[in-house]
Structure 1
Amino acid sequence: MSFDPPSHEVLLRKTIVEIVLPRDAFVAGENVLTFGKSEGSWHAYDAVGVFEPPGSAS
């Protein structure tokens, strides 16, 4: 099975957005991140990761 994208498809540009969140922004248990945009029209994403910077372990 092959996939031929529609002729009107907009090409996506790969980008990485890194946001530093303070340690006290997280609590034990479930945490919720809400994404929004202050400019531009939209984002397409396929992954979200939360990482502790090297050397910052307590």
Structure 2
Amino acid sequence: MLFRHMTGEAKRRGIASIRIVSHPPSVGFYQAMGAIIIGTKPPTIKARWSRPVLTIVI
């Protein structure tokens, strides 16, 4: 419900797409919601693993 609310608000505000930097185990959820992987964010000091970057078109 929260994800659908977010995409509904984005659409209402005229936002064309949403970029998501995901925790690796959460990728399946975002893909099930319609997002596609567009890249990877490299590790940082705070997050020491690569993180998938996804986008969902509104």
Q: Is the strand fraction higher in 1 or 2?
A: 2
Q: Is the helix fraction higher in 1 or 2?
A: 2
TM > 0.5: no
Q: TM-score range by the shorter chain?
A: under 0.3
Q: Which has the higher contact order (CA 8 A, sep 6+)?
A: 2
TM-score, with length taken from structure 1: 0.25
TM-score, with length taken from structure 2: 0.25
